[in-house]
Amino acid sequence: MDLHATFREHCWTLVPEVRTLKDIISKLLRCKSVGINRPWYHIFPPASSPCKLELIAFTLNVPIIRSDILLGNFSRPYMHLPPYRNLPLSPPPGVHPYFVITAAWAAFTANEKTLALKDPEGQPIATYALLKTIMGLWDELALLPMEVAAPPPTATSHPAEGQRTASEREAQPGSTSGTKRKRTEDYDTALASNRLLTAMTHRDEPACLITNDCGPPQALTKVCITEICDPSEDLGEAWGLLNAADHEMDENTITLRKDWHATFADFCWTLVPRKNILQALVISLLEHRKKGVNGQWDAVCRRKRRFHYIFVPFKLGNLTILRDRDPKKRSASGMYSSPYDNFPEIASSTLHPYFVVFSAWAAFRANEDILKLDQVETYALLKTIVDLWHELAKLPWDSTADPEAPAQQAEALAEDTNVSSRDKRAAANDVKVESASKKRRTNDQ
């Protein structure tokens, strides 16, 4: 097999490992936030730790027999089968991720139409989103002045997740870190003063989405999650709505305590759909683009389905969240501390992923300069979805869609192979008694 020929035909490609892609995006976002561009060798110094590579196979579907050289000795030949997950790749010294990314992007764009078929876990979709985000940031930064930089350093190491170097912090124009810290402390005080509200359990009343706190009514407010979006970036025409940004409906409205509304409006936190839902949306939108048509928002992802959303904090400081027990869902009371890794997923049968993505994109953009590495992949997926919405807005509506297709597609989007048994029990408990009784009567007949 001629690997060179198959490489030139975009049958396969190499990509830097996901951690490296996230690290590069994080650094490019910091450059964007301070209004400067930086040389490639400062974003990823050549003398840093080697760039680990992964093989992505598109149309390559044959065994690879490889004899590795380990410590000067030839190891026994080993056969690697598709999708080549365990294929060891040791790049030669000097291979730089910038050039690997450029080649990989050409291969990914050549295989856009078949990305969804390559990996049931959807990793090529996530990698596609990361690469697309990097290419977009390069285009944006090319319009900014280049920083006068010293020659590349002889050695460096990857910064810890979410950290910025001292020079990057000092370079931030008009730094308001003290103001932001004070505002966060104010929110901490305001939220702490209302923790006694969590003792109230009037479950027939609306409850705060974050704390499950349901009273008094004066402390709660209905919030349209797209109120934080830029009105000039309205996606109504792309979705088939008059105005997506300020069109209030059940699918984009949540209940929050007023202090949590304040932190939401100030981009201190947001919600995002599960990663598998984001990937499924990218796949569906790419399929629509391939057909040359656009699909309405409730056709791509049908309403009234049960979706799970992830709580993403940005600027909540050291706030401890007290979440009240919800007897309807049999969820346990809990106390959650920063960084809230164990905060439970939020399930909703009304909140729609389209509006959550639109809202989350506004929050992620407002926090580009402080994103942690584990948030960069989500940023890339959100950006990819929004970019596809803008592209599809220029296409005609799909008038030949099968009426049953939206329901089938919604089932696929709503299905999550990682749903825990606890989530399944919670979903079962949400079914109304009346519906269950009808089902039993039908079975008896």
SS3 131: helix
What average pLDDT does the structure give for the chain?
75
> Is the C-alpha dihedral spanning 263, 265, 268, 269 positive or negative?
positive
Residue pair 319/188 in contact by the 8 Å Cβ criterion: yes
Q: How confident is the model at residue 259 (pLDDT cuts 50, 70, 90)?
A: very high
Q: Between the ranges 39-43, 210-214, 361-365, where is the mean pLDDT highest?
A: 361-365
pLDDT at 47 over 90: no
- Tokens encoding 161: 């997740």
Cβ neighbours around 201 below 10 Å, total: 15
The structure's pTM equals: 0.67
∠ CA(316), CA(364), CA(293), 5° rounding? 150
pLDDT at 176 over 50: no
**CA–CA dist 400, 407 (Å, integer):** 15
Q: Which of 23-27, 111-115, 127-131, 195-199 has the lowest mean pLDDT?
A: 195-199
DSSP 79: E
Residue pair 211/323 in contact by the 8 Å Cβ criterion: yes
Task: Check residue 135 and give its pLDDT.
Answer: 93
How many helices (H) and strands (E) are present in the chain, helices listed first? 16, 13
Residue pair 223/254 in contact by the 8 Å Cβ criterion: yes
Distance of CA 73 to the CA centre of its chain: 43
**CA–CA dist 181, 196 (Å, integer):** 25
157 vs 60, residue with greater confidence: 60
- Tokens encoding 113: 């139409």
pLDDT in tens, 370-400: 999 999 999 999 999 999 999 998 899 887 6
**CA–CA dist 370, 26 (Å, integer):** 8
Task: Check residue 151 and give its pLDDT.
Answer: 58
∠ CA(343), CA(310), CA(241), 5° rounding? 150
Amino acid at 217: P
SS3 74: strand
Task: Check residue 163 and give its pLDDT.
Answer: 46
pLDDT in tens, 188-231: 433 333 333 233 333 446 889 999 888 778 889 999 999 999 88
Look at strands 64-66 and 334-336 and give their pairing.
unpaired
**CA–CA dist 47, 429 (Å, integer):** 56
Contacts of 401 (CB under 8 A, 6+ apart): 295, 299
